[in-house]
């Protein structure tokens, strides 16, 4: 009996193989240009429930790597005290899927992260608000402000604050590069300042 292999994308690489300027389908966690693959690191996930593709994360250093030869950086979702964003989790062919089909990297597995501290990068995330081209990018780090129910690690185009609490953290130099509707993918570009 003949067997047929399942399509797994490029062996040892990303499923997304081409990076055109105009995507046919945008998925949260996609990168927009092939050169951005040079800005991606593999890091260990420290978030108990894992991190979704397209979510923004912070980093922390482990005193000792999980095993020899593994990067000693761990990523997790931002908290109310986070002061900097490390990058965005990139979708790849080895991610697990949640019950609703959302790709994610579980606790203590490796995630690919588009880092913003090298040269920026351009990617796709999910819009939770109506976005206009040129709007700044703010990452949701808490839900202390009344009415803010956006997921931690998601993005919006304005600061969310009530004068006492600030639920968002701006990414310096990051802007949305196209209009987007709430609930749909949104393209952003982060530039190193």
pLDDT mean for each 10 residues of the chain (193 residues)? 44 53 68 73 92 94 71 89 92 88 92 81 89 95 93 94 93 91 89 63
pLDDT of residue 31: 83
Starting from the edge strand earliest in sequence, which strands make up the sheet with 155-156, in order? 121-126, 185-190, 168-176, 136-140, 155-156
Cα distance from N-terminal residue to C-terminal residue, the chain: 59
Do the beta carbons of residue 86 and residue 59 sit within 8 Å? yes
For the whole model, what pTM was predicted?
Answer: 0.81
């Amino acid at each position: 009996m003949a067997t047929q292999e399942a399509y797994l994308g490029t062996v040892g690489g990303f499923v997304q193989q081409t990076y055109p300027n105009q995507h046919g389908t945008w998925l949260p966690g996609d990168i927009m240009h092939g050169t951005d693959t040079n800005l991606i690191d593999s890091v260990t996930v420290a978030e108990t429930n894992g991190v979704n593709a397209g979510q923004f994360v912070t980093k922390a250093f482990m005193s000792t790597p999980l095993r020899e030869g593994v990067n000693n950086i761990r990523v997790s979702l931002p908290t109310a005290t986070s002061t900097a964003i490390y990058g965005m989790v990139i979708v790849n062919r080895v991610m697990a899927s949640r019950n609703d089909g959302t790709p994610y990297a579980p606790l203590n597995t490796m995630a690919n992260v588009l880092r913003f501290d090298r040269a920026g990068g351009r990617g796709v995330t999910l819009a939770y608000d109506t976005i206009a081209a040129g709007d700044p990018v703010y990452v949701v780090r808490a839900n202390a402000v009344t009415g803010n129910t956006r997921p931690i690690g998601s993005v919006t185009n304005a600061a969310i604050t009530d004068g006492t609490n600030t639920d968002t953290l701006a990414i310096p130099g990051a802007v949305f590069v196209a209009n987007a509707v709430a609930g749909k993918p949104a393209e952003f570009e982060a530039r190193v300042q």
